[in-house]
């Protein structure tokens, strides 16, 4: 369908959906409202029947924007988690991990480190780390909101600074497409030290873990978790009651390890690494050329097959019980798949028919801003665009071809840091947007209420983003001095974190007498 340049009206669907979601806590209704508002604007703009055009366009976009491979992978992962629990693998792993990791802080640190280690793809990170760490963090009464936050902030932020990841290759190809660079991957490497949001997000996680301090809605979530209310959207009691006591740690870990192995091999295969011929392909090139969603689906199917040949012949369950477990596991992922499906659709409304990215990009191109503010303004624009559309990849794909020539003309010495700011802002917006796929998958992987995850993570993400803004202003004033910029950014983060914690603590202490009276 032909796009329609809606100008300011192109911002209505994401703003409406996000506002309704935060107010009503009803994600599906909010996303549907945002989608229909966008298709209504489109229908009026190009002269379609307001009723038929609105509904028809929405249905067409839903059909076109769906990534069935990701839906398949998410469903298979739900099935894998369910049958592992039925086999007693989760129970055995929980007992084993409890004997090795003896404190709450170590459990949180292990979660963060595992998230950093799984750096190949953010989708894979969100779902796998949650699956592995839930039994352990539940034992130490870590809220699902905090687990989701740690996983979300070690997914995209880690992938965007990892040289071997699907993100690295995507950025490299976009840089080469501008015509300014012959080796996009080399330029991507140069952006890593100044990708402030990714670096500060990781530092923020360990500051929270080491200090044991929280502020904002996360404090309430952790307080409820201490009382036994973890905030899970479904409880595993039914699974655990029906699970056998003959499961082993291997029954938990081996299928997950094989999921990783099969997924990586599938990525290399779909990226052409195993293709015979005279040309040589590096790992990085293969990951950049791979079909990620198809590869993950293959990996999920392979891991489920491994689970079947591990569990059924040992009589941990019958074949019929295994298949029933697969069905029940898929059912648990239906809400996440529904939200993901609608998030893709509203992204398509903004990106494909209302041209939101083009509108926001034009504002940047027309803005007459001082040179030293360029990186900071690029960060803000990328963040807003990514937050509104729910996609980091779509954001930097649109902005990189604009930022490169603008920065090259306006301030060549700030070109690299401006590209870093583009990537950082894209990840920030994606990281905290309610309609972002990685945010949704972080909620799904931890079985956390989606809006709870968004509202508890948002204060932390905004704190990091504010420090990034200060850091990019510093970079503009110092001529991209990396050491000075990083030092100022980290100092701002430490000061902001402890100041906000003290303010939040005093506010809650002041309210406590009133609570007692009530």
At residue 356 the predicted structure's pLDDT band, cuts being 50, 70 and 90, is confident
pLDDT at position 234, please?
55
The CA-to-CA distance between both ends of the chain, in Å, stands at 58
Count of Cβ atoms closer than 10 Å to residue 281 Cβ: 16
**b/e per residue, 342-376, with b = 16+ CB within 10 A?**
bbbbbbbbbbbbbbbbbbbbeebeeeeeeebbbbb
- pLDDT tens digit sequence for 337-346: 787 788 778 8
Contact assessment for residue 214 and residue 222, using Cβ atoms and an 8 Å cutoff: yes
User: Nearest CA to 234 among 119, 387, 380, 78?
Assistant: 78
Instruction: Identify the residue with better confidence: 76 or 395.
Output: 76
Q: What is the pLDDT of residue 237?
A: 44
Express as a percent the part of the chain with pLDDT over 70: 87
Task: Name the residue among 27, 78, 451, 106 with its Cα closest to residue 236.
Answer: 78
Which range is least confidently modeled, 52-56, 443-447, 512-516? 512-516
User: Using CA atoms, how far apart are residues 77 and 199, in angstroms rounded to an integer?
Assistant: 29
Give the pLDDT confidence score for residue 207 in this predicted structure: 94
pTM of the model as a whole: 0.73
Q: Which pLDDT score, from 0 to 100, does residue 423 have?
A: 93
Quote the percentage of the chain above a pLDDT of 90.
25
Secondary structure (DSSP) of 454-483: HHHHHHHHHHHHHHHHHHHHHHHHHTS-HH
Alpha-carbon span 58 to 48, nearest angstrom = 13
Mean pLDDT of the chain: 82
- Give the C-alpha separation, 235 to 467, whole Å: 38
**Residue-level pLDDT at 488:** 95
Phi/psi of residue 401, nearest 5 degrees: -65, -20
More confident residue, 321 or 125: 321
Q: Find the mean pLDDT for residues 297-318.
A: 90
Q: What is the pLDDT of residues 416-427, one digit of tens each?
A: 899 999 999 999
* pLDDT value for 361: 67
| Least confident window among 193-197, 252-256, 475-479 | 252-256
144-167 residue pLDDT tens: 999 999 999 988 898 888 876 667
CA–CA separation, 140 and 179 (whole Å): 52
pLDDT tens for 25-38 read 677 888 889 889 99
Structural contact between residues 301 and 76, judged by C-beta atoms closer than 8 angstroms: yes
Residue 471 pLDDT grade (very low, low, confident, very high; cuts 50, 70, 90): very high
Q: Could you tell me if 293 and 73 are in contact, meaning their C-beta atoms sit under 8 angstroms apart?
A: yes
Long-range residue pairs from 16-25, CB within 8 A, at least 24 positions apart, any chain: 17/346, 17/434, 17/435, 18/387, 18/388, 18/433, 18/434, 18/435, 21/434, 21/451, 21/454, 22/434, 22/451, 22/454, 22/455, 25/451
| Section 237-257 average pLDDT | 70
**Per-residue pLDDT at 243 exceeds 80:** no
Residue 516 confidence (pLDDT)? 43
Please report the pLDDT score of residue 284 as a whole number: 67
């Amino acid at each position: 369908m032909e796009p329609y340049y809606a100008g300011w009206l192109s911002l209505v669907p994401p703003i409406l959906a996000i506002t309704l979601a935060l107010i009503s806590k009803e994600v599906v209704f909010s996303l549907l409202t945002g989608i229909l508002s966008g298709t209504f604007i489109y229908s009026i703009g190009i002269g379609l029947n307001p009723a038929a055009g609105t509904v028809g366009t929405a249905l067409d976009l839903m059909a076109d924007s769906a990534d069935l491979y990701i839906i398949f992978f998410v469903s298979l992962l739900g099935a894998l988690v369910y049958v592992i629990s039925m086999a007693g693998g989760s129970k055995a792993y929980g007992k084993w991990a409890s004997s090795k990791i003896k404190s709450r802080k170590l459990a949180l640190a292990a979660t963060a480190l595992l998230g950093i280690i799984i750096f190949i793809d953010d989708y894979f990170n969100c779902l796998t780390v949650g699956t592995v760490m839930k039994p352990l963090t539940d034992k130490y009464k870590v809220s699902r909101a905090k687990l989701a936050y740690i996983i979300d902030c070690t997914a995209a932020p880690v992938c965007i600074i990892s040289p071997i990841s699907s993100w690295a290759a995507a950025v490299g190809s976009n840089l080469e497409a501008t015509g300014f660079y012959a080796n996009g991957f080399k330029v991507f490497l140069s952006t890593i030290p100044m990708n402030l949001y990714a670096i500060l997000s990781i530092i923020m996680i360990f500051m929270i873990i080491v200090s044991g301090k929280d502020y904002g809605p996360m404090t309430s979530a952790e307080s409820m978790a201490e009382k036994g209310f973890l905030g899970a959207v479904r409880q595993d009691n039914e699974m655990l009651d029906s699970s056998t006591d003959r499961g082993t740690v291997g029954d938990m870990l081996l299928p997950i390890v094989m999921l990783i192995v099969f997924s990586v091999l599938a990525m290399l295969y779909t990226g052409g690494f195993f293709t015979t011929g005279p040309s040589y392909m590096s790992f990085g090139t293969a990951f950049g050329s791979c079909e990620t969603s198809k590869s993950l689906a293959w990996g999920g199917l392979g891991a489920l097959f491994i689970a079947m040949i591990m569990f059924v012949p040992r009589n941990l369950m019958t074949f019929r019980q295994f298949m029933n477990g697969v069905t029940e596991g898929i059912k648990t992922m239906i809400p996440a798949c529904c939200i993901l499906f609608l998030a893709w659709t509203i992204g398509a409304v903004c990106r494909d028919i209302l041209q939101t990215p083009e509108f926001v990009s034009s504002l940047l191109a027309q803005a007459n801003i001082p040179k030293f503010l360029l990186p900071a303004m690029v960060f803000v624009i990328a963040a807003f665009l990514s937050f509104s559309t729910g996609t980091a990849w779509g954001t930097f794909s649109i902005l990189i071809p604009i930022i490169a020539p603008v920065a090259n003309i306006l301030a060549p010495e700030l070109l690299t840091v401006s590209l870093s700011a583009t990537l950082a802002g894209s990840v920030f917006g994606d990281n905290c947007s309610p309609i972002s796929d990685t945010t949704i998958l972080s909620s799904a992987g931890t079985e956390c209420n989606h809006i709870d995850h968004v509202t508890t993570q948002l204060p932390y993400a905004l704190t990091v983003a504010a420090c990034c803004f200060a850091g990019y202003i510093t970079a503009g004033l110092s001529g991209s001095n990396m050491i000075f910029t990083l030092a100022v950014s980290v100092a701002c983060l430490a000061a902001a974190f402890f100041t906000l914690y003290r303010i939040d603590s005093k506010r809650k202490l002041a309210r406590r007498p009133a609570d007692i009276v009530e």
